[in-house]
Amino acid sequence: MTLPLFFFYVFSIIAVASALMVIAARNPVHSVLFLILTFVNGAGLFMLSGAEFLALILIVVYVGAVMVLFLFVTMMLDVDFASLRTGMLQYAPIGVVIGLILLAELLLVGGSFVLTPQLTASAVVPITEGVDNTRALGQLLYTRYVFLFMGAAAVLLVAMIGAIVLTLRHKTGVKRQDVFKQSNRKRSDAVEVVKVKSGQGL
C-alpha cells in the first residue's frame, strides 16, 4: 500500500464517521464540531486529488468562517432544542422524499460517467503543463465562465441584501441617529440662553 492510498483511507474513514456523528450527536455543539472535522478531512482528500485551491477554500471559508459562526451562535443563543425536536416526526415523509430525490440525482450523475464516457470526456478542460491548480482555475473562471461567475456573485449579493431586509426590524421607542438632522442643526436648536435673575437660580 502506497502512502497516498493510506492517507486516502484514513481521511475517508474519519470523514464518513464524523459525518454520521453530525446526525447522531444529541448536542448541537458536538454536531458542529464533528462537521468541522468532516470538512478538515474533506480538505485532506482534495489535497490528495491535486485540488489544493478547493482544500484551502474549504478550510478558510467553511471551517474558518461559517462553522465557527455556527458554533458561536449555537453556544451563545439559549435555544431549547428539546422543544424543537417535538414535531420532527411529522416532517419525516417530506425528508424521505427529498432524500430519495437527491439520491436519484447522485446516481444519475455517477452513472453518466459509466453510460456516456465520451460526453464527460469532452467537457473536461485540458490541463496546461507547468500551471498549478489555483492559477488554472482562476484563468478558467475569469475567461471562459466569467459571465456565469459574475451572475453567481450577483445572485449571492441579492440574497444577502434580501436576508438583511427581511431580518431588519425597527423597534418603537428606540432613539436612532439621524445624520441629516444632525448636519442641518442650527445653534438655536442646540443652545438656549436663559437670563437668570440674581438670587433666583434655575
Amino acid occupying residue 96: V
3-class SS of residue 127: coil
User: Residue holding cell 488554472?
Assistant: 136
The set of cell numbers assigned to 111 is: 452513472
Task: State pLDDT tens for residues 154-187.
Answer: 999 999 898 888 877 766 777 777 788 888 888 7
Task: State pLDDT tens for residues 146-163.
Answer: 899 899 999 999 998 988
CA distance 67 to 39: 9
| pTM over the 0.75 mark | no
Contact 45, 11 (CB under 8 A): yes
Distances (CA, A) of 109 to 101, 119, 120: 12, 12, 10
pLDDT at 35 over 90: no
3-class SS of residue 143: coil
CA distance 136 to 143: 11
List alpha helices for 77-145, DSSP H: 81-84, 92-115, 117-122, 133-141
Task: State pLDDT tens for residues 84-142.
Answer: 667 667 878 888 899 999 999 888 877 776 766 666 566 566 667 777 777 888 888 88
User: Residues 21-34, buried b or exposed e (16+ Cβ, 10 A)?
Assistant: bbeebeebeebbbb
